[in-house]
Amino acid sequence: MLPTQLRVLLVIGALLALLIVCNRVKKSKILMEDAIFWTVLAFVLVLLAVFPQIAICVSQALGFVSASNFVYLVVMVLLLWKVFTNSSEISRLKAKVNELAQEIALAHVDEDESAEKNCG
Amino acid sequence: MRVLAVVPAFNEEECLANTVASLKSTCPDVDCLVVNDGSSDGTWDIVRKNRLHGANLPVNTGLTSAFRTGMKYALRHGYDAVVQFDADGQHLPSYIPVMARKLEETGANMVIASRYLDGTVRPSGARGAGSRLITFLIRLTTGARITDPTSGMRMYSKEMIRLFATSFDCAPEPDMVALAARRYGPVVEIQATMQERQGGESYLKLGNVIKYMSRTCLSILMLRFLR
């Protein structure tokens, strides 16, 4: 069984998350492509709360002591996945910022060089 | 052979002028590009005042990115070799022609100015132990014997210039030495001495040594299997 309290908490939490995400999208504080993840996460939590049979079946099949443990694991895996993709995205952003800084620096060197040639 | 000395400089106002002056007087044939890595002190003013050849990164992006700026410049201006040269005055410019000759003679892709090649000086202390560990790891993963992998004075061939200028993740660090030794032809060394740094602060502060060592060792091992 999935405890009723946990089910209620999941639904409340998911609705809260949806509210915050929608608010951010409306205020142009997050890109739609990034908001999708959180929306899907909220739906997954609602799904698990509304249909406890899913969690119960899978947790029994995988040998979990209780269905709530399985729900926690799902949340943890999703969050770890998100942290990792964030990390790799930050890596790519760092590389891009560095590239841009390098190009700015090199563009100015070439400007200086052509200016010197014109003077001399 | 056209050689470019890339001098990354982050907050090096104390010794930059002297370093470049001695570089120019010792090796008049070698072009020199100072890369100011978003310094917060007067490093860029020194470059301007002394009319040095310099590139100015608008933000601090780290040694790797500063060095890559120099590599891109070298690639776009057709240089045959690049020597990585510290701004703090610990590298002696008189070794640059020796390294260039060695690069040409051996057809190597990288020449390292080693403090320990002839065995008269031995790596000592905590840093020495770290250096020996990296030497061992490089020997283990590539078979190459590099006596001074942490030496910051390295000369790179045209092929390496292209690699650094165009790759996503190429750092002028020992892990790249290992990768170069395994994938891009020989890495050779010449015997050299180095001076104490003439002022300013090192990129490698004592607190960062553990971080540096774990990063370097893990990277050497991971690159062995991934690239």
Domain boundaries, chain A: 4-119
Give residue B189's Cα distance to chain centre. 13
CA angle B171, A104, B8 (to 5 degrees): 40
CATH number of B3-226: 3.90.550.10
Mutate to test the interface with B, among A99, A100, A102 (most CBs of B within 10 A): A102
Cβ neighbours of A102 in B, within 8 Å? 57, 61, 65, 68-69, 72
Q: Out of A98, A108, A109, whose CB is closest to B61? A: A98
- Please tell me chain B's helix, strand, coil percentages from 3-state DSSP, rounded to the nearest 5: 45, 15, 40
For chains A and B, CB pairs below 8 A equal: 41
pLDDT band of A55, cuts 50, 70, 90: very high
CA nearest to A99 within chain B: B65
CB < 8 Å from B in window 51-110 of A: 95, 97-98, 101-102, 104-106, 108-109
Q: Say yes or no for a CB contact (<8 Å) between A106 and B58.
A: no
Q: Give the tens place of pLDDT for each residue, B99-146.
A: 999 999 999 999 999 999 999 998 888 788 899 999 999 999 999 999
pLDDT per position as a tens digit, B144-198: 999 999 999 999 999 999 999 999 889 999 999 999 999 998 999 999 999 877 6
pTM, two decimals, is 0.88
User: pLDDT, tens digit, for every residue of A91-116?
Assistant: 999 999 999 999 999 999 988 888 87
Q: Is B104 exposed, middle or buried (0-12, 13-18, 19+ CB in 10 A)?
A: middle
Beta-carbon count within 10 A of B161 CB: 24
- Cβ–Cβ below 8 Å for B72 and A102: yes
User: What distance in Å separates residue A77's CA from the closest CA in chain B?
Assistant: 25
* pLDDT-derived band at B80, boundaries 50, 70, 90: very high
Residues of chain B whose beta carbon is less than 8 angstroms from a beta carbon of chain A are 33, 35, 38, 53-59, 61-62, 65, 68-69, 72-73, 76, 168-169
In whole angstroms, what is the distance from residue B201 CA to residue B217 CA? 24
Please give the structure tokens belonging to residue B11: 């907050």
pLDDT (0 to 100) of residue B99: 97
**Residue found under tokens 């990129």:** B203
Q: How far is the alpha carbon of B227 from chain A, nearest alpha carbon, in Å?
A: 18
> Residues A94, A100, A103, CA angle at the centre, nearest 5°?
140
pLDDT band at A31; cut points 50, 70, 90: very high
Domain ranges within chain B, ordered by starting residue: 3-226
